[in-house]
């Protein structure tokens, strides 16, 4: 998933050269790094160009300037055979592995097909009852989010470990009972967790593995916002069922019905992508729930993207990151400015997966098929949240670039802390996460553990054959009544 690929002549960040005196608030995590970083407008804006920093989702491994393992050692023998990445997950009998692969493929394809079928068969409602049609499409989005969560529960069981700073310390809205795990975390029953998050927000995150979007969609389930998700994706996903169907093509433009109404970008045409973002957000009602998910890095960390990030940082005189990529900002800048007045907060998530060592490539250890077939999934999905008021985010592009650059320096420090200690720092107290014991209620540094389990069976059974039959019947009944009532 990506935000955009910029063209310098298209009015993106590269065209900005106006000096600014803006000084973003610094964090104790990154004060030294920020103080030592270049402050010229060219350096501040350089991190968003795609002409010099083009990354590809096809890359599958990572590197950096400083050697972290023998693969990255510049003094190593280039002819020496490189060790493959560590293999996670248990050793499995080939027959059992093949059976798991078959069952998982059947589960995913059957569920996705049923949801797609309800979308296709509901098209008559678009003509005769548009409001009912759009309500149904939102429901299918929620069904798909619950469907993904159930898939993880069945084939790749994991837990969220939620931490944050003071801005989100009141995020746990509902908790009853539960028990301490003895490791600073507190585990609730499935009915006890409800995250208090707004109906409309911008949600940004670092991009570690291709499944990041899926896990964050699952996280929205615990805030009961899985129907509100809108993700910025690569344009070629238009052809994939559920995410979007293409009806016809004329010249270089593609037309058709995108059922989830995600924002699909070309990445090599900034003028087109900027228009796609603005048009999509313009037709989204300001009263409707909206969780706009953006990955500013544009792609996952890999050897290829780390090399490009390091090369661009050196060329632009920037401080390169160790664990994340330099962010692109033009797409996010357009999104935030379009949503000012209707969205109050931006949530920043820093995601780290258990089992990863510093310098390793998360995507190599947790490839998508391996999660469900090889049982090589992360046991803990660590998510550190911060919240920023949209009104406090700079409105001019040069200042916004500097603000984002500071945010990503802090994110890199958070990732460094995660790889050092195995967890993110947290300002949650025991009271914040539902530990009512007098001894631990005021203790800082607590985290909230949420198992990836659905709370209600109908959450993932609702896109069933019943909907496939009921929707077209309902559509024709409405049409029949309308025709005969006149």
For residue 115, pLDDT over 60 is answered with: yes
For residue 279, pLDDT over 70 is answered with: yes
What pLDDT, on a 0 to 100 scale, did the predictor assign at position 74? Answer: 40
Please check whether residue 343 is in contact with residue 18, taking contact to mean a CB–CB distance below 8 angstroms.
no
C-alpha distances in angstroms, 280 versus 35, 227, 263, 344? 39, 17, 7, 19
What pLDDT, on a 0 to 100 scale, did the predictor assign at position 13? Answer: 31
pLDDT in tens, 213-242: 999 999 999 998 999 999 887 766 666 655
Burial, 144: exposed, middle or buried (Cβ in 10 Å; 0-12, 13-18, 19+)? buried
Q: Packing angle between helix 94-121 and helix 130-155, nearest 10 degrees? A: 170
C-alpha distances in angstroms, 72 versus 55, 61, 135, 360? 20, 11, 51, 10
Residue 212 contacts by C-beta under 8 Å, 6 or more apart in sequence? Answer: 1, 205, 295, 300, 351
What pLDDT, on a 0 to 100 scale, did the predictor assign at position 175? Answer: 56
Tokens of 288: 């409707």
Burial, 29: exposed, middle or buried (Cβ in 10 Å; 0-12, 13-18, 19+)? middle
How many Å apart are CA 477 and CA 119, to the nearest integer? Answer: 18
C-alpha distances in angstroms, 184 versus 180, 191, 416, 432, 468? 8, 21, 20, 12, 46
In 3D space, the residue among 238, 237, 243 whose CA is nearest the CA of residue 255 turns out to be 238
C-alpha distances in angstroms, 132 versus 71, 376, 474, 475? 56, 41, 11, 10
Q: What are phi and psi of 58, to 5 degrees?
A: -80, -15
- Antiparallel, parallel or unpaired: β 380-389 and 290-294: unpaired
How many Å apart are CA 257 and CA 124, to the nearest integer? Answer: 13
Residue 452 contacts by C-beta under 8 Å, 6 or more apart in sequence? Answer: 149, 152, 153, 157, 158, 159, 160, 218, 381
pLDDT in tens, 40-83: 333 333 333 333 333 333 343 333 333 344 334 444 444 445 56
Q: Which of 20-34, 68-82, 266-280, 325-339 has the highest mean pLDDT?
A: 325-339
Q: Which of 4-18, 197-211, 266-280, 300-314 has the highest mean pLDDT?
A: 197-211
Q: Categorize the per-residue pLDDT at 31 as very low, low, confident or very high, splitting at 50, 70 and 90.
A: very low
Q: Which of 42-56, 134-148, 280-294, 411-425 has the highest mean pLDDT?
A: 411-425
In 3D space, the residue among 408, 271, 298, 235 whose CA is nearest the CA of residue 56 turns out to be 298
For residue 462, pLDDT over 70 is answered with: no
What pLDDT, on a 0 to 100 scale, did the predictor assign at position 49? Answer: 34
Residue 188, Ramachandran bin (φ over 0: left; ψ between -120 and 50: alpha; else beta): beta
Beta bridge pairs of residue 326: none
Tokens of 373: 């077939």
Residues 24, 28, 31, CA angle at the centre, nearest 5°?
Answer: 60
Q: Categorize the per-residue pLDDT at 155 as very low, low, confident or very high, splitting at 50, 70 and 90.
A: very high
For residue 86, pLDDT over 80 is answered with: no
Q: What is the mean pLDDT of residues 108-121?
A: 82
Tokens of 423: 């967890």
Q: Categorize the per-residue pLDDT at 359 as very low, low, confident or very high, splitting at 50, 70 and 90.
A: confident
Q: Categorize the per-residue pLDDT at 84 as very low, low, confident or very high, splitting at 50, 70 and 90.
A: low
Q: Categorize the per-residue pLDDT at 369 as very low, low, confident or very high, splitting at 50, 70 and 90.
A: confident
Report how far Cα 26 is from the mean position of its chain's Cα atoms. Answer: 25
For residue 473, pLDDT over 70 is answered with: no
Q: Please state, rounded to an integer, the average pLDDT across all residues of the chain.
A: 75
Tokens of 459: 């959450």
> Within 10 A of 182 (CB to CB), how many other CB atoms are there?
6
Please check whether residue 222 is in contact with residue 194, taking contact to mean a CB–CB distance below 8 angstroms.
yes
Q: Categorize the per-residue pLDDT at 407 as very low, low, confident or very high, splitting at 50, 70 and 90.
A: very high
pLDDT in tens, 429-449: 888 887 666 566 777 888 999
For residue 301, pLDDT over 50 is answered with: yes
For residue 341, pLDDT over 80 is answered with: yes
What pLDDT, on a 0 to 100 scale, did the predictor assign at position 104? Answer: 92
How many Å apart are CA 200 and CA 337, to the nearest integer? Answer: 14
């Amino acid at each position: 998933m990506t935000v955009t690929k910029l063209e310098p002549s298209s009015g993106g960040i590269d065209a900005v050269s106006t000096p600014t005196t803006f000084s973003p608030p610094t964090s104790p995590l990154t004060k030294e790094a920020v103080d030592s970083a270049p402050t010229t407008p060219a350096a501040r804006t350089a991190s968003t160009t795609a002409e010099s920093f083009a990354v590809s989702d096809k890359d599958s491994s990572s590197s950096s300037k400083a050697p972290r393992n023998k693969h990255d050692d510049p003094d190593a023998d280039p002819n020496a055979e490189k060790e493959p990445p560590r293999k996670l997950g248990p050793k499995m009998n080939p027959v059992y592995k093949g059976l798991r692969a078959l069952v998982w493929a059947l589960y995913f394809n059957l569920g996705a097909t049923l949801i797609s079928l309800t979308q296709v068969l509901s098209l008559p409602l678009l003509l005769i009852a548009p409001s009912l049609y759009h309500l149904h499409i939102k429901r299918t989005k929620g069904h798909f989010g619950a469907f993904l969560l159930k898939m993880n529960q069945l084939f790749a069981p994991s837990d969220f470990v939620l931490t944050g700073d003071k801005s989100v310390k009141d995020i746990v809205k509902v908790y009853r009972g539960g028990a301490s795990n003895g490791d600073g975390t507190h585990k609730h029953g499935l009915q006890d967790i409800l995250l208090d998050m707004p109906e409309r927000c911008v949600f940004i995150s670092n991009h570690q593995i291709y499944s990041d979007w899926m896990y964050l969609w699952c996280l929205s389930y615990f805030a009961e916002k899985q129907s509100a998700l809108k993700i910025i994706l690569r344009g070629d996903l238009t052809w994939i069922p559920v995410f979007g169907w293409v009806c016809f093509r004329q010249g270089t433009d593609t037309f058709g019905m995108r059922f989830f109404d995600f924002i699909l970008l070309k990445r090599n045409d900034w003028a087109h992508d900027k228009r796609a973002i603005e048009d999509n957000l313009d037709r989204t009602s300001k009263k409707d729930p909206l969780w706009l998910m953006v990955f500013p890095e544009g792609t996952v960390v890999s050897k290829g993207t780390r090399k490009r990030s390091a090369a661009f940082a050196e060329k632009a005189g920037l401080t390169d990151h160790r664990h994340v990529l330099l962010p692109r900002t033009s797409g996010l800048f357009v999104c935030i400015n379009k949503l000012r007045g209707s969205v109050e907060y931006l949530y920043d998530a820093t995601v780290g997966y258990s089992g990863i060592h510093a310098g390793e490539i998360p995507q190599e250890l947790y490839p998508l098929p391996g999660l469900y077939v090889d049982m090589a999934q992360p046991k803990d999905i660590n998510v550190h949240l911060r919240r920023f008021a949209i009104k406090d985010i700079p409105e001019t592009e040069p200042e916004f670039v500097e603000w984002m650059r500071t945010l990503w320096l802090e994110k890199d420090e958070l990732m460094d802390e995660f790889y050092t200690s195995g967890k993110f720092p947290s300002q949650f107290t025991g009271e914040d996460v539902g530990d009512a014991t007098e001894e631990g209620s005021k203790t800082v540094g607590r985290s909230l553990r949420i198992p990836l389990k659905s709370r209600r069976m109908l959450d993932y059974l609702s896109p069933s054959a019943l909907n496939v039959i009921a929707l077209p019947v309902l559509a024709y009944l409405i049409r029949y009544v309308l025709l005969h009532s006149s």
